[in-house]
Amino acid sequence: MTGLLEIESLTKDFGGIRAVDSLTFRVREGGITGIIGPNGAGKTTVFNLITGVYRPTTGDIRLEGVSAVGKRPDRIVALGIARTFQNIRLFNRQTCIENVMTPLLQRAECPLFSALLRMPRARSVERETREKAMRLLAAMGIEAYADARASTLPYGLQRKLEIARALAAEPKLLLLDEPAAGMNPEETRSLADLIVRVHDEFGVSILLIEHHMDLVMNICSSVVVMNFGALLAQGRPDEIRTDERVIRAYLGKKKRERTAAEGEESHAGACR
Amino acid sequence: MDYILSVVTLAAINMVAVLGLAVFTGFTGLFSFGHAAFVGVGAYASAILTYYYYVPFFAALAAGSVAAALVSLVIGIPTLRAKLRSDYFAIAILGFGEALRVILENLDITNGARGLPGIDQFTTLPIVLACLAFSVWITRNFLRSRYGAACIAIREDPVAAEMAGIDLFRTRLLSLVLSAFLCGLSGGLLAHFLSFIQPVMFTLVQSTQLLAAVIAGGMGSVTGPLIASFLFIVLPEALRVANMWRLVAYGLMLVLIMIYRPQGIMGYQELPDLFRRKVSAK
Ligand SMILES: Nc1ncnc2c1ncn2[C@@H]1O[C@H](COP(=O)(O)OP(=O)(O)O)[C@@H](O)[C@H]1O
Ligand SMILES: [Mg+2]
């Protein structure tokens, strides 16, 4: 059986730095998979490789058996992958609903001619898209902010808006890069519920990078552990929790990593 | 009276070109110091058609706009491919502006640097206003569509835009073509209003004035640049400033706008938004 996403011998060098090192793992359809690992382990780089922001040095990435390597990011989105960013990247001066409408509009059929002359087709597309976007905002509980500019939203809500925008691309696989970063324990718990609900309601498989161990252990059906760009282990959360190598490399110094993770937050633009 | 009419007509013609550049710079986030070249292409193409070939005015106007759009493809296709580098285009368009001037100055059909006199004066104020209204309407429709949404997304964040399923190259190219089309239309109207065109009318100076109107009017706005463009043409005339003080008046206006409205007159909003906000604030 092939997985939804297959990463095979994936390697990425930045000059002398090997950010990702012959990484191989699979994401099954229908689950929530977590990626954990210390800072600089290469997790975000893996997302950037999957979504075509970077080209792998070697290795392959397949979605439902179709290779995504060398494809433009927007083509990869069309294959069924959407993502959020570690350092939120919204269309800041757009309203919330416009942020969500933008990917929806790209998927709607509306020829240029019909758009320029605003023919009935263009009007109906706009109306339907607005309704769809409103439903997505409601699913994230932020419909009250529909007409507010994205940049004016509080941090936690910006993360939710980013998830809504990603869902608007109607993905099979949703990549979330540290969705709980900068949140307090209570916000983190409610975000965990939200992610599970998104998974159930939208029938989307999820791959998420997270530093909050509880969140990963509670909602993930499978966990991938990375260290120095390479795969350290993959398994069910209970297997990972007791894995000797994982404990030594990561869980054992959880506290220190957490502090480091918060430090990373302040580096604006660290995530491309 | 004739004088006022001609100033207003000139302002409205200029507004069509500024509108075009607003799409490209204000909404797509790409800068251009060369859009006057597209005005020049539209002016010469349409004027040559009516002058030498007796093509009907409206057909010539359309042909001039299309010619400008086609020329923009030639510049845009090789230079807009670079994802995160918009300077390739900026340099190429700058070079193109100069090249166009040299070409126009050395062709027989354009009558060289002396310019083309005796073009029929087909352009009237109602025609200009109709063209302006049509251009605003098309632009508004474009901006509300998936294509405009894609332009704005690219301006806001190209990486996130790609992740929204947007093809950066095609969207930027489309934005350029539409903006060049409108500049070409403006050029056709201008040629048939002045009845005389010359290569020096479409150089860096004019390109800079177009860009200044867009920035002073406000990025991400249609009405702002239109207002700025109107003010830039009409105010110096209304104040009856002597010719040598025109540039000073012009510079002073720019400075005042930048001091009192650093975002531009309408940065990221439209004229109707101002009233809406006032109402909802009550
Ligand atoms: N664009 C880049 N250029 C150079 N080095 C990079 C780039 N992106 C990431 N890296 C490096 O790759 C390594 C992995 O980074 P990253 O994937 O962001 O780690 P993580 O998300 O696991 O914290 C780090 O050493 C980082 O400095
Ligand atoms: Mg990261």
SS3 content of chain A, % helix, strand, coil (to 5): 45, 20, 30
- Nearest residue of A to residue B170 by CA position? A74
| Per-residue confidence (pLDDT) for residue B241, from 0 to 100 | 61
Least CB-CB distance to B166: which of A89, A106, A168? A106
Which candidate, A257, A166, A246, A244, places its Cα nearest to that of A208?
A166
Q: Please state which of the ranges A185-199, A244-258, B113-127, B234-248 shows the lowest mean pLDDT.
A: A244-258
**Average pLDDT for residues B18-44, to the nearest whole number?**
96
Phi and psi at A35, nearest 5°, equal: -115, 125
Q: List chain B residues with CB under 8 Å of A52.
A: 162
Least CB-CB distance to A115: which of B147, B166, B168? B147
- CA pair distance B238, B173, nearest whole angstrom: 39
Token pair for B197 = 């065109």
Cα–Cα distances (Å) from B122 to A205, B189, B192, B195, in that order, read: 63, 8, 5, 9
Rg (CA), chain A: 19
Beta-carbon separation of B165 and A106 below 8 A: yes
Residues 6+ apart with CB under 8 A from B282: none
Given the cut 0.85, state whether the ipTM is greater than it. yes
Query: Distance, CA A92 to ligand 2 centroid (Å)?
Result: 22
Q: Please state which of the ranges A26-30, B151-155, B238-242 shows the lowest mean pLDDT.
A: B238-242
Beta-carbon separation of B166 and A169 below 8 A: no
Region class of B197: left (phi > 0), else alpha (psi between -120 and 50), else beta: beta
- B29 with B154: CB under 8 angstroms? yes
Nearest-CA distance B10 → chain A (Å):
26
Token pair for A79 = 């294959």
| Per-residue confidence (pLDDT) for residue A168, from 0 to 100 | 97
- CA pair distance A190, A25, nearest whole angstrom: 29
- Nearest residue of A to residue B164 by CA position? A103
Quick check: A19 pLDDT over 50?
yes
> A39 in ligand 1 pocket by Cβ < 6 Å?
yes
Q: Is A54 an interface residue toward B (CB < 8 Å)?
A: no
- CA pair distance B151, A162, nearest whole angstrom: 19
Residue type, A119: M
Strand (E) or helix (H) holding A262: helix A254-265
> A42 in ligand 1 pocket by Cβ < 6 Å?
yes
Which residue(s) pair with A227 in the sheet? A230
Q: Is A85 an interface residue toward B (CB < 8 Å)?
A: yes
- CA pair distance B180, B140, nearest whole angstrom: 16
- Interval A58-71: pLDDT, tens: 999 999 999 999 99
- CA pair distance B73, B172, nearest whole angstrom: 11
| Locus of tokens 């633009």 | A269
**Average pLDDT for residues A36-41, to the nearest whole number?**
91
- The pTM score is 0.92
Which candidate, B9, B15, B8, places its Cα nearest to that of B134?
B15
Q: In terms of residues, how long is chain A? A: 272
Nearest-CA distance B89 → chain A (Å):
21
**Ligand 1 pocket test: which of A44, A47, A225 has the largest number of ligand atoms within 8 Å of its C-beta?**
A44
Beta-carbon separation of A74 and B168 below 8 A: yes
Query: Distance, CA B83 to ligand 2 centroid (Å)?
Result: 23
Least CB-CB distance to A77: which of B144, B153, B163? B163
Quick check: A252 pLDDT over 70?
no
Q: How confident is the model at residue B254 (pLDDT cuts 50, 70, 90)?
A: confident
Name the more confident of A127 and B205: A127
Name the more confident of A9 and B89: A9
Token pair for B10 = 């000139």
Note the Cα A241 to chain centre separation in Å. 23
| Per-residue confidence (pLDDT) for residue B274, from 0 to 100 | 79
- Interval B49-104: pLDDT, tens: 999 999 999 999 999 999 999 999 999 999 998 876 777 888 889 899 889 999 99
Q: Count of A–B CB contacts within 8 Å?
A: 99
Q: Is A82 an interface residue toward B (CB < 8 Å)?
A: yes
Cα–Cα distances (Å) from B240 to A259, B237, B247, in that order, read: 67, 5, 13
Token pair for B250 = 């012009």
Nearest-CA distance A17 → chain B (Å):
23
Q: Is B276 an interface residue toward A (CB < 8 Å)?
A: no
- CA pair distance A143, B173, nearest whole angstrom: 34
Which candidate, B167, B233, B228, B200, places its Cα nearest to that of B25?
B228
Beta-carbon separation of A89 and B159 below 8 A: yes
Beta-carbon separation of B163 and A98 below 8 A: no
- CA pair distance B74, A25, nearest whole angstrom: 45
- CA pair distance B171, B71, nearest whole angstrom: 17
| Per-residue confidence (pLDDT) for residue A175, from 0 to 100 | 98
Beta-carbon separation of A74 and B160 below 8 A: no
Q: How confident is the model at residue A258 (pLDDT cuts 50, 70, 90)?
A: very low
User: Which ligand sits nearest to residue A41's alpha carbon?
Assistant: 1
